[in-house]
């Protein structure tokens, strides 16, 4: 089995490596602009599928994984901050609030595609201006939607997490991806065990 991650994100590559499977990766070239009046869930599911399909012609033998994520606060999409001031404003707005992450994942192979959306809600505790500055100085999460890294020091900012899979916050819902693989007739755990055995024998 050949596996391809349709993403240039180092975070998603690190996540997929957790499954213990060999994989290639490539960056899909698609327009990620939301459609007018498109819901957050519909957008991330559509873009996940488009990312997987975008590389199908180049990698026709691969099982291709696409993923896309958006987060929202009070119904408004929260983007990647890009700089310190934007990150500070995002965290000030999130203080004491609950934000929702919607993460789409798609699996393409031989013209067939399946996809799903996972949700995780993050309840922020009330944050002081000093705490926000300390966090941003330490982690500088300017390339992360919501201005935090849950896998890092961002955990200091939260009161609670609500959802099936914390991996969804980082960008790739691994539990749902394994669901999609099993539904497609793959056994990801068995494949990982086989790969481990063959690499030891090589």
- Per the annotation, the verdict on 29 as an active-site residue is no
Listed in order, strand segments (DSSP E) in the chain are 3-6, 24-26, 63-73, 76-78, 98-109, 112-124, 158-163
Q: What is the pLDDT of residues 34-46, one digit of tens each?
A: 999 999 999 999 9
Q: Which of 29, 31, 37, 68 is catalytic?
A: 68
Q: Is the pLDDT of residue 167 over 90?
A: yes
From the list 46, 16, 12, the residue with the least C-alpha distance to 191 is 16
Three-state DSSP state, 152: coil
Residue 65 token pair: 């994984």
Task: Report pLDDT digits (tens) over 118-151.
Answer: 999 999 999 999 999 999 999 999 999 899 999 8
3-state SS, residue 138 = helix
Domain boundaries, the chain: 3-201
Instruction: Report d(CA 47, CA 67) in Å as an integer.
Output: 7
Model pLDDT, residue 201: 67
pTM of the model: 0.91
**Measured distance CA(42)–CA(148) in Å, rounded:** 24
Say how far apart CA 72 and CA 200 lie, in whole Å: 45
Half-sphere exposure of 110 (CA within 13 A, CB side): 3
Predicted confidence band at 90 (pLDDT cuts at 50, 70, 90)? very high
Q: Say which CATH topology domain 3-201 has.
A: Maf protein (3.90.950)
Rounded CA-CA distance 32/24 in Å is 22
* Whole-angstrom distance, CA of residue 109 vs CA of residue 114: 9
pLDDT level of residue 1 (50, 70, 90 thresholds): confident
Q: pLDDT at position 131, please?
A: 97
Q: What angle do CA 145, 28, 163 make, to 5 degrees?
A: 40
Please, where are the H alpha helices in 55-184?
84-94, 129-139, 167-170, 174-183
Place of tokens 């459609």: 35
pLDDT for 154 equals 95
The yes-or-no verdict on residue 23 having pLDDT over 80 is: yes
Fill in the DSSP letter of residue 17.
H
- Which of 107, 115, 120 minimizes the C-alpha distance to 42? 115
Residue 27 DSSP SS3: coil
Position 133 scores a pLDDT of 98
């Amino acid at each position: 089995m050949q596996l391809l991650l349709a993403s240039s994100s180092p975070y998603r590559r690190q996540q997929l490596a957790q499954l213990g499977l060999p994989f290639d990766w490539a960056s899909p070239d698609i327009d990620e602009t939301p459609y007018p009046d498109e819901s957050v869930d519909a957008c991330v599911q559509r873009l996940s599928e488009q990312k997987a399909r975008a590389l199908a012609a180049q990698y026709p033998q691969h099982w291709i994984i696409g993923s896309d994520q958006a987060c929202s606060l009070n119904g408004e999409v929260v983007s990647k901050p890009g700089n310190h001031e934007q990150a500070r404003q995002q965290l000030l707005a999130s203080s004491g609030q609950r934000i929702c992450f919607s993460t789409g994942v798609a699996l393409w192979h031989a013209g067939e595609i399946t996809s799903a959306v996972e949700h995780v809600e993050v309840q922020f505790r009330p944050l002081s201006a000093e705490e926000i500055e300390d966090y941003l100085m330490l982690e500088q999460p300017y390339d992360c939607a919501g201005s935090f890294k849950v896998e890092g020091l961002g955990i200091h900012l939260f009161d609670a997490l609500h959802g099936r899979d914390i991996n969804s916050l980082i960008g790739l819902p691994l539990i749902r991806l394994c669901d999609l693989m099993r539904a497609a007739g793959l056994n990801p755990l068995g494949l990982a065990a086989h790969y481990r055995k063959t690499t030891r024998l090589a």
